[in-house]
Structures are given as C-alpha cells and as structure tokens.
Structure 1
Amino acid sequence: MSRVLVPAAVFLELLALCLSSIALSAFAGVLFVFYFALALRRLQSYSRYLFLISLVVIGYLGFIRQLAAEDLVRAASNAAFYAAFLGSLGMMQCLVRRFEVLQRIHDVLLGGRPALLYPKYAVVSCGVASVLSFGVMNLLCGTLSETLRQRGITGASRLRWLRSVLISTLRGFALVPLVAPTSVAVAIITREVPSLSWSGLLPYGIGSAVLLILVGWGLEHKRFRRVSGEREPLEAWPAGSGRLLLLVLIIFAAMGLLVQLTELKVSVAAMLTVPVVTLLYMFWHDRSPAKAVREATDNMLGMSNEMSIFAGSAGLGVALVAVIPADALAGMATGELGVFLLAVCGLLMMPMLSAIGIIPITVLSVQAGLMPQLVAEGVNPLPIAVALVIGFSLAMMLSPFGPAVMLLSRFGQVSRWVVAFGWNGAFVLLSIPLLLLMLWGIFVVAPATG
C-alpha cells in the first residue's frame, strides 16, 4: 500500500502547481512525510536522520508557537515541491532503457578531439540540466553504469571511466546555478530579493562558470584521453535516434507552450512535461499501461533517499528562517569592503557546511531569507547574491550527502566520500581563490578605480 504514496504525492504536487493551490501542495507534502516515516528503516542513515531532525525541529517550533500555521503549510509545500522535483524529472531514466542512442550516449560524447572532452561533457551536462535538472544525472550516470557492465570494464579502467565521465557530469550539473534561469538557487534568491533578477546575475555567473570549466579541464584532460581510447566508435547513429529527437522536440515544445501560455516557470514546466510525455511514450511503446505505471513507480521509489533529503532540507530551511530575529544582520555590512567580506563569508559557509553534512539548499534557504534585512539597511545585494550562487555551485560538488553526489555514488557504485572529497576536493580548493579574486576585482577594485 505504501508504494502508491510517492507517485500519488508527486501527482498531487504537479496538480497543485497547475492549480496554484498551496493547500493541495501541503497535502502532498504530508503524503511524502507519511511515506518516509513508513520507509524509515529502508532509508540510508543520513536520509533517515535528516528526515527525523526536520520533523522534530518543525514539530517543536510549531508546538511552542514559534511557527505560525502558514509557516507549517509553507514547510510542507516546499517539501512536496522539492521531492516531486526529483521524482518527476527522474522519469528520464525510463526513456534510457528504450533508446539505444541514450544507452550509447557516452560513445557519442566521447567522439571528437580528446583534448575537448572535459568541456564537452561539462557544457552538455549543464545544458541538459538547465531544463531537466536531476534528470541529467539519471540519464548520464545510469547509462554509464550500464555501458560499463555490458562491456565488462572492471578494475582500474572502470574507476577511470567513472572518475572522468561522472565527475565531469556532476561539475557540469553544478554550473546550472550560475547560468540557468531554472536553477533552484536563483529561484530562492530572487524570491527573497525581488529587485534581483536572473539576467542581472548572469554575467557574473558566466565568468564563474568559465573559471570552473578551465580548472576542471586542467585536472581531467589527461585521464579523459585514456578513456577516449577505450570507447567503441560509432559508424552510424544508433537505431531510434530520429524518434528520440522527435520526442525531445515534443518535450521542449510542450514546455515552451506551457511557459508562454501560463505563468509557470521553466522548471515547473519541465516537471509537468517530462513525466507526461515519458508515460505516454511508455504506454505506446509497451502496449501495457499497468507495466509502465509499475516501472514509473519503481523508478520513483529508487530515489527515496534523495527525495527525503530534499524534502527534509526544504522544510527545515523554512522553519529556521521563520525563527531568526528580523535584525540579526543589523550593521554587519558597511561600505564596499564590508559587503565584500560578508559575501565571502556567505560563499565559504556553504561548501564548508555542506562538507560536514548540511546540504546546500538548507543553508541557502536560511542565507537568502536574511537578505531582505540587508536590503532594508541600504546594502547592495548583488555581490552577496553572486557569492551565494557561487557557493551553492561549489557546495553541490562537495556535499557527500547532497542528492547530486548521492545519485552519482549510487549509479557508479562509488563511495560518496570518494566522490565529494577524493574527486572534487582539490578542484574546489583550487577554484575558491580564483573565484574570490574575481569577485574582489569586480566588486571592490573596479568601483574604487571607476
């Protein structure tokens, strides 16, 4: 019986987004909570503890009346949105099993000049993730593990493939907050500070993304050369490529229509379009709606750990922001140097807290919730917003308990500690000084000499 709770909750959240119903969204959040409570023993330890901590904190604050009824509803609604975010876009994995070109996408991407493979993977991953979010992790990670299994690639060679391909996928995915309007980080910040916009953040995001790609390119290009030599060259496009292209065009066209004809954002349009088109194709391809529904349900349940982390973090972030004093940052930023130092603290705080288990979305929810206080004091929010977006991007790569790293770890069968610190530690440590130097030049040196 509990199996139906997750797809039912995802469906209700998608319906709530269509109807703009906060009450229905909160009810979907309750269903998610009920399922995670029933599945508590099957969740991984961090997912279980974060879920319990979130429930205890929200319940206690509600009991002592530190949270109003609307805060509790918002916490449930946010939990439902982010859990459904993963569940709906994760349906992309169901398409992978039905298209040879997706199963061999790594042979496609590994073609061309070996020296350009890292930036190619990073840019493609970022581009797909800009629309499909975690769907790109399911797509690229899922197909790689299947490719390695089919070819019998094991040992050091397998680890080299995993490190090169999956880490470039993760780093490309982590560029989304810097350049995409669909990023949850941009959505959180611009919601709290309406004077900020994605277009205003974009130039700084592009500069940061270029720096991150260059650092990763320098670290990974030699390993990628060896991986490229082990690929199977494609003599022709795999069967079904044209049908897949048509399906992708339908998804993008439907998303575009939703954005143009409604007030839905691109990320919400993707949440609605991907599962609907995927299910319709599964019905047509398999001629068995019951089989398709079972597969979709199993696919969602396979992401229970990541969904519980997102849901728990979203609810906890709402609760913490609601109880922080309204004057907590009074007088902390004076002058351009003071604003820059506050921005640096915000940037560094995110990867540091992520490294000890507090995932980025929780930290950003609290940090962004404090920004209106600074705006009220006349502080320019742009440097701080840019720093927070950069910090969020870095934290996505350094958080061993974040959904992105956990998905990569699960698909690659590699420890999340190895992914976060062994594969990304040096990358983040090299990137931070360069990013801080860029921010110093833009927001301190340039205004002083202008």
Structure 2
Amino acid sequence: MSRFLVPVAVLLELIALCISSPHLSALAGVLFVLYFLFALWRLQAYSRYLFLISLLAIGYLGVVGQLDSGDLMRAASNAAFYAAFLGSLGMMQCLVRRLEVLQRIHDVLLGGRPALLYPKYAVVSCGIASVLSFGVMNLLCGTLADTLGQRGITGVSRLRWLRSVLISTLRGFALVPLVAPTSVAVAIITREVPTLSWSGLLPYGIGSAILLVLVGWVLEYKRFRLVSSERKPLETWPAGSGRLLPLVLIIFTAMGVLVQFTALKVSVAAMLTVPVVTLLYMLWHDRSATEVAREAADNMLGMSNEMSIFAGSAGLGVALVGVIPADALAGMASGELGVLVLAVCGSLMMPLLSAVGIIPITVLSVQAGLMPQLVTEGVDPLPVAVALVIGFSLAMMLSPFGPAVMLLSRFGQVSRWVVAFGWNGVFVLLSLPLLLVMLWGVFAMAPAMG
C-alpha cells in the first residue's frame, strides 16, 4: 500500500496549489514523510541521511518550542511542494519510451558541423531539462551508455565520449535555473518573494547562460571534434519526431494560458500541465487506464531518492530560517555596496558548500527564506535573486553529492569527484570572474531601472 502514498501526495499537492489550501498541502507533506519512512532503507545513503537529519531537526525544534504549529505546517507544505515539483515534471520521462526520436537522441544531436556540437548539446540539454527536470540526465546519459555499447566504443574513445557528451549534458542541465520557468530555483525564490517573477529574472539569466556556453565551447571544442569523427550519420529522422514538437508546444501553450488567465506562477503552471498532457498522451497511445496509472506511479517511485532530497532540504530550510533572528541581515544590507557584497557571498556560498557535500537546494532554501527580511529593509530583491540563481547553477556542477552529478557518475561509471572537480573545476573557475562582472552590472543598472 505504501507505493500509492507518493502519487496520492503529488495529486493532493497539485489540488492544494489550485485551491490555495495550506492545510491540504501540509497533509500531502505528511504523506511524503510517511512514504520516505517506509522506504527508508531502500533510499541511497545520502538521501536517507539528509531526510533523517531534516526530520530530527524539525522534530527537535518543534518539541523545544522554537517552531510553532504554523512553522511545522509550512515545513510540511514546502516539503510537499518541492517533492511534487520533481514528481510531476518527471512524468515527462514516460514519453521517452514512446518516442524513438528520444531514444536515438545522440544520433540526432551529433549530426551537423562538429564545431557546433558543444553549444548544441548544452542548449538541447537545457531545453529538455526545462520539462524533464532530472529526466534529462536519465535520457541523455542512459541512451549514451546504450549507444557506446552497441557500437563497441571502449577505452580512450569511450572516456572521450563520456567526458564530452555527459559534461555538456550536465552543464546544459545547470543552465535551467538561469532560463527555464520550470526551475526549482525559480520556484523557491518566487515562492518566498512573490513580487519577483521568472520574466523579471530571465534577461539576466540569458546573459549568464550565454557566458557559460561560450566558456564551455572554448574548453570542449577540440575534444568534440574527435568525438564527431566516430559518429554514425543518421539517414532519416527517427519515428516520433513529428509528434515531439507538437507535444512540447501544447505543454508550453497550456502553461502560458494558465499564467495569463489565473493567479498561478509559471512553476505551478508547469507542475499542472506536464503531468496532465503526458497522461492524456499515454492514454491515447496505450488505451489502458490501468497500465497508465501503474506506469505513472512507478515513474514517481523511481525518483524517490531525488524527491526525498528535495523534501528534506525544503523542510530543513524552513526549520533553519525559523531559528534565525528576524533582523539577522539588517546591518549587512545597509547601502548598495553592502547588498552587493551580501549577494556575491550568497552566490559563492552555494558552490563552496556544495563542494563539501551540502547540496545547493538546502542552501538556497535557507537563503530564499531570508530574502523577505531584505524586502522589509527596502532592498530591491531582483539583483540578489539573480546572484542566487547564478550560484545555484554553478553549485549544480560542483556538488559531488548532488542528484545530477550522482546520476551522471552512475551512468558513465566515472567517480563523482572526477565529474565535479576534474571535469568541471576549471570550467567554473574560468566562468566565475565573468559572472561576477555581469552581476556587478546588474547592481549598477538596478537603481536606474527602479
């Protein structure tokens, strides 16, 4: 029976978002917690320990009276939101098994001019991740492993393929917080500061994304040329190519309609639209409601580790914010220079803590929870929010315990330390000065725009 707790919890959270019911959302959070407790020893070690630490911290602070009933309900509600965020968007993975074009994605992407392969992979990875979330890692990493096995590519050539293709996939995935309305980072920040919107962050996110793609292009250009010489030309487009684009257009059109004619934010519109469109397509394709329901439940359960990380991080963030004094940032946010320093420190804090095992969503949950203090002090939250999404993007590439790096490590059979630091260390060090200069420009423009 416990396997039904997750899909029921996701459904309750989606209903709660539609009717703005914090109590129903908290109930969804309780169901998620119950499932993670039932499945505790099936979770990966990091997911299990982070969830237990979060649960114990929240329980202790509640018992000693540092968190009241409202705080506890908010912790449960936030845990439900972020677990359901991943569970609902991850439903797009069900389309992979029904569209051959996604199964042969590497044959498609490796076509064309060798010089353009890196930006192509990064941009396409970002685009797929904007609707598939962590599913892009399963899709591109899993299909690459199959492709290399089918073609007998081994030794140095295999490592070169893995480094070029998988690292561009990870870096493309890391662009999602900067440009996609479905990003969990955008969802966290706009949930804490309702005056901020994805459209307001987008111009600066696009600028940051362009800088990151250009740096990666310079670093990976020669390696991709060698990979290109071993590719297999695709004579015709795979089956399902004609259906993929309309499906994506339907999803984004429906999201736009919801945002335009309701009070829902883009991230919530995505949480509602993606599973509905996917389930309708599955019903049309399979003609079996029972099989569709079983596959949807199995798909969500397959993301239990990532969902427990998201839920635990969100709950822990609420607990930590609850014990931080309400005026903690008052002295630090005085003057434009003070706010700039605070934003840069917040941006750098995520990749630095990620390098020692504290995943970025945990840090961002706390940082975003403190942003209302800045708004109360009269600080423009936009430049600070830009700094945080930049830091979140960099941290995704440097976190050896983060879900994305762990998935890439598992599929590529490469140490996660090699992925995080060996493959991405130089890239981040070269990108950071450029991003800090751009961030300074955002602060310089903010007063004029205000």
State the TM-score, normalizing by the size of structure 1.
0.91
Matches of 2:160 and 2:361, distance apart in 1: 30
Counterpart of 1:36? 36
Indicate whether 1:14 and 2:14 are aligned: yes
Matches of 1:330 and 1:446, distance apart in 2: 20
Work out the percentage of aligned pairs sharing the same amino acid: 85
Greater shift in the superposed pair: 166-175 or 292-301: 292-301
Counterpart of 1:94? 94
Counterpart of 1:204? 204
| 396 and 224 in structure 1: CA distance in 2 versus 1, 3 angstrom threshold | same
Matches of 1:152 and 1:294, distance apart in 2: 35
1:424-443 deviations in Å (ceiling 9; x for gaps): 12211221122223334554
Counterpart of 1:357? 357
Counterpart of 1:85? 85
1:178-198 deviations in Å (ceiling 9; x for gaps): 223433323333443445444
Indicate whether 1:290 and 2:314 are aligned: no
Matches of 2:135 and 2:168, distance apart in 1: 15
- After TM superposition, list the pairs within 5 Å mapping 1:16-415 onto structure 2: 16-415=16-415
Counterpart of 1:432? 432
Report how many aligned residue pairs link the two structures: 448
TM superposition shift of 1:446: 11
1:119-156 deviations in Å (ceiling 9; x for gaps): 11212222333344334334333333333343343333
TM superposition shift of 1:170: 1.7
| 327 and 216 in structure 1: CA distance in 2 versus 1, 3 angstrom threshold | same
Matches of 2:254 and 2:378, distance apart in 1: 42
Matches of 1:259 and 1:445, distance apart in 2: 28
1:328-383 deviations in Å (ceiling 9; x for gaps): 12222443333322222111111111111211122112122223333433444443
Matches of 2:193 and 2:446, distance apart in 1: 24
Contact 2:93 2:132 in 1 (8 A): no
Matches of 2:248 and 2:208, distance apart in 1: 29
Matches of 1:151 and 1:191, distance apart in 2: 47
Greater shift in the superposed pair: 114-123 or 253-262: 253-262
Matches of 1:289 and 1:190, distance apart in 2: 36
Matches of 1:282 and 1:124, distance apart in 2: 24
Contact 1:193 1:371 in 2 (8 A): yes
TM superposition shift of 1:444: 6.0
Matches of 2:350 and 2:173, distance apart in 1: 17
Matches of 2:444 and 2:20, distance apart in 1: 42
Contact 2:91 2:132 in 1 (8 A): no
Contact 2:82 2:184 in 1 (8 A): no
Paired residue secondary structure (2:414) = coil
Contact 1:340 1:444 in 2 (8 A): no
Q: Which amino acid aligns with 1:21?
A: S
Matches of 1:154 and 1:319, distance apart in 2: 48
Listed as ranges, the gaps of 5+ residues in structure 1 are none
Contact 1:101 1:240 in 2 (8 A): yes
Contact 1:306 1:407 in 2 (8 A): no
1:315-336 deviations in Å (ceiling 9; x for gaps): 1111111111011122224433
1:192-250 deviations in Å (ceiling 9; x for gaps): 34454444433332222221111111111112112222222111111222233333333
Matches of 1:274 and 1:193, distance apart in 2: 24
Paired residue secondary structure (1:91) = helix
Matches of 1:247 and 1:181, distance apart in 2: 17
Greater shift in the superposed pair: 226-235 or 187-196: 187-196
1:4-59 deviations in Å (ceiling 9; x for gaps): 22222222222322332222221121111111111111111111110000000000
Greater shift in the superposed pair: 314-323 or 249-258: 249-258
| 418 and 350 in structure 1: CA distance in 2 versus 1, 3 angstrom threshold | same
Greater shift in the superposed pair: 422-431 or 125-134: 125-134
TM superposition shift of 1:65: 1.6
| 347 and 427 in structure 1: CA distance in 2 versus 1, 3 angstrom threshold | same
RMSD: 2.5
Matches of 2:270 and 2:335, distance apart in 1: 41
Q: Which amino acid aligns with 2:113?
A: R
Counterpart of 1:417? 417
